[in-house]
Structure 1
Amino acid sequence: MEHPPYRLAEELDRFLGDPNDPGEVFTYARCVELDDNEEFPADIVRRFQEWGLPDHYVPVEYGGRLRDYEQVLQLVRTVARRDMTCAIGHAKTYLGGVCVWVAGSAEQGAALGADIMAGVPVSLGLTEREHGSDLLATEVRTDEKASDTEDHWLVSGEKWLINNATRGSVLSLLTRTRPDGGPRGLSVLLVDKRELDEDTFRHLPKIRTHGIRGADISGIAFDGARVPRSALVGAEGAGLEIVLKALQITRAMVSALSLGAGDHGLRLALDFAEERELYGRRLIDLPQARKVLAGAAADVLMHEAVSMVAARAVQAQTAELSVTSAVTKYLLPTSTDQVLADLKGLLGARAFLKGVYADGRFQKLERDHRLVGLFDGNTLVNLNSLINQFRSLVRGFGRGTGDTAGSDVACDLGAPLPPLDPSKLSLVARHGSGIMAGLAASVDEINRRVALDSALAPVAEAAQRLLAVTTAVHAEMEEYKSVLTEVPPAAYEVACRYALCWAGAACLGLWTHSSDHVRDDPDTGALWREGLWLHTVLDRLLVRLGEPAVAGQETYEGLLGALRAARSSGRLFSLLPQRGPERQPATPEVAAHETERTS
């Protein structure tokens, strides 16, 4: 299957060259060196600019190339697969622009888009030293005397723990414009530091972090900085709502970082297992090593499936993104952390050491990825967002409501996506989840296919089990559907279970809607035929939900065989074919990109 977001990501990967070639700029060894020196990867970022990566952070209506949010996902995943610091440091510009894409004026969008495509770093100023994730407690403010100033705001206060706070020239800033306005007292200003009096702001020192050591994690303090009134994004007092809606989009995109980390970690562990010999036997031949690798492979494919559905849902199921983004942002970072922890056991001491195996990349990868769970709302913030929606989710599941048409489009990789309509973003999925509402139909579809292919019977049984567990989880959610404050720990456990059920429903939807597009592909068709990847994914999810296993070791052996076949052919282990470095015929999207870039 020709899937344009994957083909475009391959084109970027080819442009960046072999990461093991010392003659290239973006190499594994170079990234380890930069990490040791806590140095920003400026030379690598210039290569992204040469290819035109920033163009894909800007929507087409503002002059950029962003028309499909899965393209952003796959491009950032490609960078993260090589190095997390580079991905986090560069993709922050995309995150910094989303408030404008959601609520800004056409003039703001065009100006910001031109800056981004010219390589100007952009940042998102939300958090403060004393308040962390509590955006309602924001203290950065406009002085009261600014009300007498017709054409400017006077901004004071400090934002801290901000990615690209020092490097960035433009900042989407959440600030308090009405001291006594409560949630409606916050606004977003698009602050251009190049236009500020240098005496009215200062950069805070770079913060030394355990992971992503080379990233610009710092802060910025304002002291009566004069910001034009035209910098207001959207309506005055709508800042919190704008930010929360923008975060729904960015949380779905942050999964690209976890995808890249999973790709990298799985490949490192597999290479080690294939090469390592002890007492005349290779590590890959030991049953426990095979079990760990196959389990990690199933998790990596589950993450890929969930993230693809979530990225497509940005456009196809926009009104339900409050659920989709919270599930994705909770599930992928926490689950990828566990994958890396499992794989660490295979590498043993070499997972902790530098300069012993693979340039010490595994220890760097694990350190870097631990921070992903903190970005754009931490784990508890996202689980709490789900808990706040329990009432509508329970009601929608009971009635079978939700955007099932949008869910079908999100799960069908052959279906065209509608343009993003930011006006559809909502803080609550009022009618429930279309992904969950479509679960029963997916189960029925698999049962129908069993009559045509009896090999699908175990998958159909697993799907039926997931439907039963999902129904039980919604019954558990009933108890907490009125909880708004002082959320009990048990409610968070139920939210975790809901996220696992949602992931299973998304994977079932993806398989039932897309398998016919992919099953005949010579590279990845074996993963789709007889539901191989789906069977192992459902098994992993059901076990985490406290259910008995539904897949035997022979099924996992089949998945391990596919993993090893991808390695031997130089392909990425993936749900869709990822070709090697040889030049392939370009799709129209890739050809157009290459033409524009070279011209």
Structure 2
Amino acid sequence: MAELETLLAAHEDDVFLPGTLARLDEREEFPDDAVRLLDDAGLPAHYVLPPDGDFSETVRLLRTVARRDLTVAIAHGKTFLGSAPVWVAGTPDQAARLAERVRAGEPVCWGLTERDHGADLLASEFAAVSDTDAGEGGDAGGWRLTGEKWLINNATRSTLVCVLARTDLAGGGRGFSLFLVDKQRLPKGSWRNLPKVRTHGIRGADISGLALADAPVPADALVGEEGGGVPVVLKTLQLTRTACTALSLGAADHALRLARDFASGRELYGRRLADVPHVRRILGRAAAAALTAEAVSALSARSVHTLPGELSVISALTKAYVPTLTQQTLASLGELLGVRGFLTSPPGGGFAKLERDHRICAIFDGSTVVNRAALLNQMPRLARQLSRRRAAAEGLRAAADLSAPLPPFDRDRLTILSVTGCSAVQVLPDAAERIRAQGPPQAGPLIDRLIADFSRLEKGLADFVPVVGGLPSTAFGIAEAYERAYAAAACLLLWLENPSLHTGRLGTDGLWLRACLTALLGADDTEVFDTLADVLLAAPAPEFTLWGAAV
């Protein structure tokens, strides 16, 4: 982590110079030099999850890149998304071969979406037929792939692409399979890259596509079982949705730095902008939101190792919550920056690029609505588990203790539905009472409000009845309330399990915890936000963080 930060800081005058990246963005050019620097630094090795990869470290490293430029982070980090299906379902030999190529810096992409079907994977037309069915001249046990994948990040640059293909004409949940296709091994004329698609944000990224026509691939291109593609995709999304929080955390870091520098260096009516009470309140609330998002991301990323059986819930609510909260934070800081937040050239151009680049983060790997719908589909089970107050205490404690060693990732514990619910939400009342008993004392009134909100959530869950054929709009309010409960639990658990977070300017008198809970509860405590703004304005570090202070 520290080594990557030092390396990137050393290159802020060349390949990571904001002006250089802005010019590439204007010309819609891929940031080749920045990506090459990350390859040379060994970042791709952190995209290899088994057997001893640390997923939480991968998230923190991607955040380090994202706080400088989201286009670079998205372009480089896509290799993890493309590789993840193999970590979830590939054979040991497939995983070993892919790991070697990923570590060498070969880009990998994930081909799920199609031009006419978008995120409706069960409507996909991209097809694979076994060579036995394809006729003479086939490779025994091999497959022939035909169709297009479109709006794929790194589709043109990648040498390897993991594609979802229809292997049963009838389709359905068992009618699709995953294949890891090596473009370098495909016969000439059997495939072609589709043109780059112009986008509003991340303009320099390689958002393009791939078309195959009766392209032969060997038997060992199949990832997982034939017909197992959709379940593998759903399990893989549990990893990739959680990884996406790195992009939002980096965006928040970047935005807070720009707003801090602007407020510190700007005078209004004879006094520093940073001394205006309303501005300080905006900065303090934004800082609280960023720390809350970080708490959620930290707990969720570590849960990949310690609570994999709950990831179907954790990943959905995390992906819905963190990018949405971050986009709201960017909006508030944009208002503070005023006209400078809309400039595409110095002195304020960095924020305009950042804000439009981040918008895609809420859409990646399932939009906010898609993830909330996935959460609501499990809500009856979550309500039952919540009423029982049961929790996987050991796994939750290991996830919350940011200095505790993590067990190896165990893909066999991933499930489509969580049998144990969501332990963090289920222990929230107990964690709140522990905070009330152990301190900080100033958090007492906030704990009272939190418990009252939790009681309303419980009642809403008890009254929730799934509707055949769709979800009523009111149901999404329940999903949002559940996300906030998880966020509050993440803050409480991190405070309880990390004594190192009780010290320093952020920890004294429980400042960060009080600020996060105040923001989560929609309260308006001028004193706590003003004090947090002081800490932000004085922060010398490139990131405003809890995570780094605890490990």
Structure 1 unmatched runs, 5+ = 1-8, 451-455, 544-548, 580-586, 588-599
Distance, in Å, in 1 between the alignment partners of 2:268 and 2:10 is 30
How big is the shift at 1:459? 1.1
* C-alpha contact (below 8 Å) 2:163/2:178 kept by paired residues: yes
1:395–1:60 CA distance, 2 compared to 1 (3 A) = closer
Distance, in Å, in 1 between the alignment partners of 2:466 and 2:268 is 57
2:202 aligns with 212
2:533 aligns with 560
Distance, in Å, in 2 between the alignment partners of 1:39 and 1:484 is 47
Describe how 1:419-498 pairs up with structure 2 within 5 A.
419-450=408-439, 456-483=440-467, 485-498=469-482
SS of 1:371's equivalent in the other structure is helix
* C-alpha contact (below 8 Å) 1:57/1:94 kept by paired residues: yes
Greater alpha carbon shift after TM alignment, 127-136 vs 73-82: 127-136
1:582 aligns with none
**How many pairs align?**
547
Which of 59, 68, 90 does residue 104 from structure 1 map onto?
90
How big is the shift at 1:415? 2.0
* C-alpha contact (below 8 Å) 2:436/2:444 kept by paired residues: yes
1:26 aligns with 2:16: yes
Distance, in Å, in 2 between the alignment partners of 1:165 and 1:31 is 21
* C-alpha contact (below 8 Å) 1:394/1:474 kept by paired residues: yes
How big is the shift at 1:513? 1.2
2:513 aligns with 534
* C-alpha contact (below 8 Å) 1:92/1:163 kept by paired residues: yes
Structure 2 unmatched runs, 5+ = none
2:394 aligns with 405
1:484–1:135 CA distance, 2 compared to 1 (3 A) = farther
1:546 aligns with none
1:91 aligns with 77
Describe how 1:213-252 pairs up with structure 2 within 5 A.
213-252=203-242
Describe how 1:134-533 pairs up with structure 2 within 5 A.
134-143=120-129, 147=133, 149=138, 150-358=140-348, 360-450=349-439, 456-483=440-467, 485-514=469-498, 516-520=499-503, 525-533=504-512
* C-alpha contact (below 8 Å) 1:81/1:264 kept by paired residues: yes
Greater alpha carbon shift after TM alignment, 401-410 vs 221-230: 401-410
Letter in 1 for 2:312: S
1:69 aligns with 55
TM superposition score normalised by structure 1: 0.89
* C-alpha contact (below 8 Å) 1:252/1:311 kept by paired residues: yes
* C-alpha contact (below 8 Å) 2:173/2:230 kept by paired residues: yes
* C-alpha contact (below 8 Å) 1:388/1:484 kept by paired residues: no
Letter in 2 for 1:231: A
Letter in 1 for 2:502: R
Letter in 1 for 2:543: L
1:13 aligns with 5
Greater alpha carbon shift after TM alignment, 208-217 vs 528-537: 528-537
How big is the shift at 1:17? 2.8
Distance, in Å, in 2 between the alignment partners of 1:121 and 1:250 is 16
TM superposition score normalised by structure 2: 0.96
Distance, in Å, in 2 between the alignment partners of 1:13 and 1:458 is 35
* C-alpha contact (below 8 Å) 2:12/2:18 kept by paired residues: yes
How big is the shift at 1:69? 0.9
* C-alpha contact (below 8 Å) 1:404/1:437 kept by paired residues: no
* C-alpha contact (below 8 Å) 1:84/1:368 kept by paired residues: yes
What percent identity do the matched residue pairs reach? 45
1:402–1:484 CA distance, 2 compared to 1 (3 A) = farther
* C-alpha contact (below 8 Å) 1:38/1:213 kept by paired residues: yes
RMSD of aligned C-alpha atoms? 1.7
1:391–1:578 CA distance, 2 compared to 1 (3 A) = closer
SS of 1:419's equivalent in the other structure is coil
Distance, in Å, in 1 between the alignment partners of 2:187 and 2:547 is 51
How big is the shift at 1:572? 2.5
Q: Deviations over 1:300-325 (max 9, x none)?
A: 11011110001000001110001111
SS of 2:67's equivalent in the other structure is helix
Distance, in Å, in 1 between the alignment partners of 2:68 and 2:76 is 13
Letter in 1 for 2:120: D
